Amino acid sequence: MLVQKLLVPIHYTSLANTFLLLGANLGDRVQTLGRAAYLLSERVGLVVRASGLYETAAWGVVDQPAFLNQVLLLETTLGPEAVLDLTQITETELGRVRHAHWGARHIDIDILYYDQQIIQTSRLTVPHPFLHQRRFTLVPLAEIAPDFVHPLLRKTTIQLLEECLDEGEAKLI
């Protein structure tokens, strides 16, 4: 049984929108992403939008199986660090073992945005620092939030996608 203490169990009184990127390239990828979305809806907040599932080649370390990726938009009353705690608990519960940076994994959950906040702590950087460089992130994000404006770069998701130099294909399954 997984027992882990939330480091920052802060609840806000208002709702915040958080965008999460889910990725999996080991095991039953479809089932894992579905289970992750369910657990996140139970733990973090209401899933108000979900992209389709996109198959993409691995990024960073390319000698590994293809990923399935999906972006979720959740409404949450949790603070960003509590969201991080719960995404990491969910990753561990679904079989994530951190061996190698950008290595193969059963599940990866990244916080892309937390409202329009800019967060830089020892544990968390939001917006996600590589978001604008990764087609596998931008394509599903553009499906559900084409006009969302990156708070640092001041560009919409569509503009970021048009300018993205990553040539990797994101194929809707």
SS3 122: coil
The pTM score is 0.89
- List the catalytic residues: 96, 105, 108, 110
pLDDT in tens, the chain (173 residues): 344 444 445 566 589 999 999 999 999 999 999 999 999 999 999 999 999 999 998 876 667 889 999 999 999 999 999 999 999 999 999 987 766 555 578 899 999 999 999 999 999 999 999 999 999 999 999 999 999 999 999 999 999 999 999 999 999 99
Helix spans in the chain (H): 29-43, 80-93, 135-144, 157-163
Residue 144 vs residues 90, 93, 103, 147: alpha-carbon distances, Å: 23, 27, 27, 9
Q: Where are the domains of the chain?
A: 14-168
Note the CATH architecture for domain 14-168: 2-Layer Sandwich (3.30)
